[in-house]
Structure 1
Amino acid sequence: MTDATTQTPIDSLTEAEAAAELERLAREIAHHDAAYHTRDAPEISDAEYDVLRRRNAAIEARFPALIRADSPSSRVGGAPEAGFAKVRHRTPMLSLDNAFDATDFNEFCVRARRFLGRTEPLAFVAEPKIDGLSISLTYENGHFVRGATRGDGTEGEDVTANLRTMKSVPNKLHGHAPAQIEIRGEVFMTKTDFLALNQAQAASGAKVFANPRNAAAGSLRQIDARITAARPLSLFAYAQGESSEPVAETHWDYLQRLKDWGFTVNPLSRRLGSEADAETFHQEIALERSGLAYDIDGVVYKIDDLALQRRLGFVGRAPRWAIAWKFPAEQATTVLREIRIQVGRTGALTPVAELEPVNVGGVLVARATLHNEDEIARKDIRVGDTVVLQRAGDVIPQIVSVVTDRRPRHAKPYHFPETCPACGSHAVRPPGEAVRRCTGGLICPAQRVERLIHFVSRPAFDIDGLGEKTIQEFYDEGWLHGPADVFRLPQRETEIATREGWGKQSARNLARAIEARRTIPLERFIYALGIRRIGATNAKLLARHYGSFGNWREQMLAAVTIGSDARLELGSISGIGPTIAEELTDFFGEPRNVATLDELAAELTIEDAARADAAGSPIAGQTVVFTGTLETMTRPEAKARAEALGAKVTDSVSKKTDIVVVGADAGSKARKAAELGVRTMTEAEWRALIE
């Protein structure tokens, strides 16, 4: 994992680099998932594996349009082993998102409270995170009938016979139990049992295991159940899957029911009355960690109220109501050799630390992000300093602090450049922003090439054969100055074929690839323009709202006028807001940009945006505004439901608004709706309409 792309900070990746990196990560993580979950023979440490998963998640967060169908973020574990029958989980066995410090945990709590529309703190149940093998146990009329591994989260392996050999798996539940219930837990091996097993394995010339987790997984997943019976396996039960009837109102009460039925529940689990208790509990468990009989790598925090869990639901492959707070990552010290300035496609000047290579958490690190000039000044980072490096919640290597005792005598404070290192243009820092930007625009070679690379990248025009190297080659030749020039390259097919490294077939393939992209969806077209703050998600919002290129262009030109209805409408689109609206109006307020846009559009067929499939919806295609306090749902829930039914949700009322849903304490928006004659309805009327 030491190639150049892997070492590139995520905030410095181009779209093409990010796509290539996601492809590599998907392949590498799938390989290690199979080694870990299917063959019980991991090839890397947990820390190294976490680095891969966090880097993948961070790249997807920055480039959401690049998320792959085989993304590790939508997959849990590995495919079931071929030697076992397959069991499809009635409720998927998903994994948890991770926190790495108190800030991460607090942000998780804020997100949950915001989604629920709550201000009061949440109660949690804290459980040590066991490093074992997740399993599912199904009971019918109190009798154990089936057991399965997690597998890929959707489908696992039937290991019923093996689980029956474990004393900690009750064959019959004590007392009353639902007619059918699925109970989930973790099979593990204690440290003492692991050492004894490995000693016996070595004495008999058999395979020794790398750690207790691998020993537990390998022991449970034996074709011959007699081998499992001879292995010292344990189980902690901690979660519920499908159930034919409610069991408890809180997770804490559910854990008590598990104990009543005959299961072992981790005795260190604790109910926390508020969010503030989590950090104290975490510190306590960290101190006890080395003395525990089993391996843990963090603490799982679950919102106690099961009704709130159901409301929160899931996002991606993880629940919104639980998080795994991992123990701290490794740190290392190294020497800062140089601070280099990168110029991005939007002109942002980003400082990057060039380091003496050092191993941190299983990864050889030679570069780290310095974020911006304020960060350098705050930490007083100087060339030649010995620095503390860390890989924690963020997969980007971070410089935590400077070891001032080792500072060279003549080290000077770093002065951030005020001119662009690529073109010499003045670099300005807009008021209120942390980033300095080059003013050179298209005259800046760093930006021009980067913008063309962005233009042909996978989530944009996705033109095969036009990678960074080729873009740079044709730019240097004088063939590419703006995006419309890309579609004139087929006219140079003969010239391209004679260039070094090219031939008739490769030139022909490039020409065909370009011609195949003359028809493009509106959202990709908008994204490809590289307008600042217009990523793939915002491009989709704009395309969905305006429908066609012609309408979008017309409304954007109208929005250039401050105070116009078009500008008000743009800024009120849910998810856009005034800051992004200003970036768009700045773009369309520059005549040269509009000329470039029209020159490009003349080469293309731009497809209208696809509308949401809302057959039979009473609000499909209508523009909806919510105002006031809603009592039966939060604002995010209401907006999501409206959009799922094909409506357009905006944040302000205009003549184009179709419905205003008026909650408690509604103010100016309700009055404006009345003035404009826009249809209004109460929250109850709205629910009746959509349900």
Structure 2
Amino acid sequence: MPADDNIQHQITALTERLHHLNYQYYQRDISEVPDQEFDQMLAQLAQLEKDYPQFAHPNSPTQRVGGTITKQFPTAEHRYPMLSLGNTYSEADLREFDERVRRGLEGAAVQYVCELKFDGVAMSLTYQDGQLTQGVTRGDGTRGDVVTSNVRTIRNLPLHLRPAGPPQPADFEVRGEIFMPLPVFAELNAEREANGEALLANPRNAASGALKLQDSALVAARKLRFFAYSFLMPGRSMFPTHSASLEALHAWGLPVSDTWRVCGTIEQVLDFVHEWDKKRFTLPVATDGIVIKVDDFRQQELLGFTAKSPRWAIAYKYPAEAARTRLHTIQYQVGRTGAVTPVALLDPVPLAGTVVKRASVHNANQIAALDLRLGDLVFVEKGGEIIPKITGVDLASRPANAVPIIYPTECPACGTPLIRPEGEAHFRCPNERACPPQLKAKLEHFVSRKALDIDGLGAETVGRFFDLRLVSNAASLYDLPAKAAELAQLERMGEKSVQRLLTGLEQSKQIPFDRVLFGLGIRYVGETVAEKLAQHYRTMDALAAASATELAAVPEVGGVIAESVAAWFQEPENRQLIEGLRAAGLQLALTGEAPQPQSDRLAGLTFVLSGVFEQHSREALQHLIQQNGGKITGSISKKLSYLVAGDKMGPAKREKATELKVPIITEDELLAMLPTSFDAEDAVLDQMLGDSTAAAPTPAAATATGQTPSAGAGEQGSLF
């Protein structure tokens, strides 16, 4: 076999194998191979595609990790308008809908398909010859944004359909809902709260925001999922019924929720509505109603459309469930970053499938806006059906002795006077060195799954050790082996538990630098920022020596994050902590060789990049400058060599550069200063693949590339 044919065969075989493994994992909850083997195959495929791009498949599994930078999303016209459905909150309206349908069909027998209405983002997907070719948002129903590169990162969405079930049309469209699973949403909000960021309102907004991100790698990190609910093709459908098309989509490998049902009467429809009124709260996805469709496609054609919606379908929306209960007191919780969050303690009340005893009040502003008082009867709802929140006060029932709530001026845990930074909603305790709940929360964060993930040392255990004064900070965890005998005497520990803990501590010394950095809990430094900083500086020492201005020039790191990181490393106690971790043997540098400079063409020159660029992403241009000896900075000064101006650059930077007589150049002019053989995007890809192909993948690498070791059926359940 000729060499090229052999390479093409390898790429095709790996592509098909990985597509199959993804289908087994995300559709059937089956892990056919260990995660390490999966990641090694994926890395091998990525390298082959890089070396032989002419043989790469457009829907390769390597597209799952993202990395495409989209400056602006083009729009596309929908072949079939994405109309809205008529909504109702009334069962009487459902009966009227049934009567209209039967009149329109002149009394012919009719069946309905009832489906849960998932609260996400409507998406139109085009498949041609079994390959995903385009993903378009609803937009205005006539045109939408093309977000194909972002859609390709969704793990349970097949890029290549399975050759099973009925024959597939050469060209057809799938409509469905992209959503963020509730556990992912809760985890994302917990991380945002710990970092002092505003919480996302609900999973739908979180999914919508993710799909608008310009970097598809960031979209991949949001762990979005997809459910298909509609099949469309040119001309008359190849299926007699909607239910038959759903079965075919499932057979072809598309995720279809297994909660739909064919109903022969309106009474059966109402039974379905009643069944899921409470049952929906057990699902790992937000729902807000039921969609009822006439099953027979010929009957749908006969019924037709109004100007805005089909006559053969309707959406029943469950009313927002609310409850009235008594507010007893406000408890103030101190988080890892010192944010003091008020939590209302309530009389227990059933709400949306659970008994609610506590509700979020967010901050002092909301307490004032609601005019909350102790003893009030308050209305409670579940925001996005997840987080209970107080939405109002029954003022007519306010008791005469209701006590106004006075927000504390001192930390409820350590007594330190609270501060409220300008522009922030939360009051904060600045005593991060000695405030017990802050110290405990930092330890819990350090040992968490996304950070050091120390086996045998979860949040509860490390919190217990802190209370017993066995540990005080992250570095002190590595003194625990010397206390093994003492640990074994603790209740619920024992020799086996202690040995597991000690093994976990030893194994954590191999956790990569970026996760160690994330584990430090620096404010605003989440997983993505930690990874970017680690890739850019490669060692903890280089990162610690960087100024705020230099940090701000790193991709995904803005001024606020840069100031926070620089301030953290300036604290002597934090530098002492780093030395303790170094002495314990943790990874404080990236393994493998740093990317070698391509040339010294830009040696001695400094650059600021501003705006959106056409030929390369900003990250690629920054990397390009550094690989040719130049330096990146975030501010304009007299010492700056060049301001590289892209589209939509802010006028303030241009004015300042002009005032200081700093040369302003275009992207083309920058590229003209470099060796013509240099490819910025390839350089970034080399950097991304460098460490992952040099050693066996870590659990973090498995998460980034394909199969998540801890996901499995527990995360996905029957719906995923």
TM class by shorter chain equals 0.5 to 0.7
Q: Which amino acid in 2 is paired with 1:296?
A: A
The answer as to 2:115 corresponding to 1:134 is no
Query: Which residue in 1 is equivalent to 2:308?
Result: 269
2 CA distance for matches of 1:138 and 1:577? 46
The answer as to 2:532 corresponding to 1:553 is no
The answer as to 2:412 corresponding to 1:431 is no
Q: Is this contact kept in 2: 1:662–1:683, CA < 8 A?
A: no
Deviation at 1:453, TM superposition (A): 1.0
2 CA distance for matches of 1:368 and 1:110? 26
How many residue pairs are counted as aligned between the two chains?
476
The answer as to 2:490 corresponding to 1:408 is no
2 CA distance for matches of 1:450 and 1:526? 16
Query: Which residue in 2 is equivalent to 1:195?
Result: 266
Q: Which amino acid in 1 is paired with 2:668?
A: M
Q: Which amino acid in 2 is paired with 1:210?
A: F
Which of 320, 334, 340 is matched with 2:325 structurally? Answer: 334
Deviation at 1:675, TM superposition (A): 5.0
Q: Give the SS at the match of 1:510.
A: helix
Deviation at 1:112, TM superposition (A): 8.9
Deviation at 1:363, TM superposition (A): 3.5
Deviation at 1:393, TM superposition (A): 3.6
Which of 92, 95, 99 is matched with 2:177 structurally? Answer: 95
2 CA distance for matches of 1:474 and 1:188? 49
The answer as to 2:610 corresponding to 1:627 is yes
Structure 2 vs 1, CA of residues 386 and 484 (structure 1 numbering), >3 Å: closer, same or farther? same
Query: Which residue in 2 is equivalent to 1:512?
Result: 503
CA deviations over 1:455-509 (Å, ceiling 9, x no partner): 1111111101112332133223322112111111112223322332222222111
Query: Which residue in 2 is equivalent to 1:582?
Result: 563
Using the aligned pairs only, state the percent identity.
27
Deviation at 1:149, TM superposition (A): 7.4
Query: Which residue in 2 is equivalent to 1:320?
Result: none
Which of 210, 216, 220 is matched with 2:272 structurally? Answer: 210
Deviation at 1:390, TM superposition (A): 1.8
2 CA distance for matches of 1:388 and 1:612? 59
The answer as to 2:238 corresponding to 1:144 is yes
2 CA distance for matches of 1:419 and 1:485? 29
Q: Is this contact kept in 2: 1:147–1:158, CA < 8 A?
A: no
1 CA distance for matches of 2:626 and 2:175? 33
CA deviations over 1:275-295 (Å, ceiling 9, x no partner): xxxxxxxxxx9xxxxxx8744
Q: Is this contact kept in 1: 2:345–2:359, CA < 8 A?
A: yes
Structure 2 vs 1, CA of residues 690 and 506 (structure 1 numbering), >3 Å: closer, same or farther? closer
CA deviations over 1:597-633 (Å, ceiling 9, x no partner): 22222212425448999999999x9997543576x69
Structure 2 vs 1, CA of residues 403 and 549 (structure 1 numbering), >3 Å: closer, same or farther? same
Which of 550, 571, 578 is matched with 1:597 structurally? Answer: 578
Structure 1 runs not aligned, ≥5 long: 1-25, 31-43, 52-71, 117-131, 160-181, 199-207, 215-230, 238-258, 271-284, 286-291, 299-326, 560-566
Q: TM-score, normalised by structure 1?
A: 0.55
Q: Which amino acid in 1 is paired with 2:490?
A: R
2 CA distance for matches of 1:353 and 1:425? 22
Query: Which residue in 1 is equivalent to 2:525?
Result: 534
Q: Which amino acid in 1 is paired with 2:308?
A: S
Query: Which residue in 2 is equivalent to 1:157?
Result: 251
Structure 2 vs 1, CA of residues 421 and 362 (structure 1 numbering), >3 Å: closer, same or farther? same
Q: Is this contact kept in 2: 1:149–1:157, CA < 8 A?
A: no
Q: Which amino acid in 1 is paired with 2:552?
A: G
| Larger deviation, residues 599-608 vs 667-676 | 667-676
2 CA distance for matches of 1:150 and 1:352? 49
Deviation at 1:330, TM superposition (A): 2.4
Query: Which residue in 2 is equivalent to 1:639?
Result: 618
CA deviations over 1:329-378 (Å, ceiling 9, x no partner): 22222211221111112221110011222233334322111111121012
Which of 293, 296, 301 is matched with 2:315 structurally? Answer: 296
Structure 2 vs 1, CA of residues 522 and 669 (structure 1 numbering), >3 Å: closer, same or farther? farther
Which of 661, 668, 687 is matched with 1:681 structurally? Answer: 668
Q: TM-score, normalised by structure 2?
A: 0.53
Q: Which amino acid in 2 is paired with 1:95?
A: E
How do residues 280-319 of structure 1 correspond to structure 2 at under 5 angstroms? 294-297=313-316
2 CA distance for matches of 1:328 and 1:95? 21
2 CA distance for matches of 1:189 and 1:267? 26
Q: Which amino acid in 1 is paired with 2:644?
A: V
2 CA distance for matches of 1:269 and 1:604? 64
2 CA distance for matches of 1:624 and 1:152? 54
1 CA distance for matches of 2:240 and 2:626? 45
How do residues 23-42 of structure 1 correspond to structure 2 at under 5 angstroms? none
Query: Which residue in 1 is equivalent to 2:644?
Result: 660
Q: Which amino acid in 2 is paired with 1:534?
A: V
Q: Which amino acid in 2 is paired with 1:639?
A: R
Deviation at 1:381, TM superposition (A): 0.6
Q: Which amino acid in 1 is paired with 2:231?
A: S
Structure 2 runs not aligned, ≥5 long: 1-24, 30-113, 121-152, 181-199, 216-226, 277-292, 682-720
Q: Give the SS at the match of 2:457.
A: coil
2 CA distance for matches of 1:105 and 1:133? 16
Query: Which residue in 2 is equivalent to 1:19?
Result: none
Structure 2 vs 1, CA of residues 154 and 468 (structure 1 numbering), >3 Å: closer, same or farther? farther
Deviation at 1:136, TM superposition (A): 2.5
Q: Is this contact kept in 2: 1:464–1:513, CA < 8 A?
A: yes
2 CA distance for matches of 1:144 and 1:686? 58
Q: Is this contact kept in 2: 1:148–1:157, CA < 8 A?
A: no
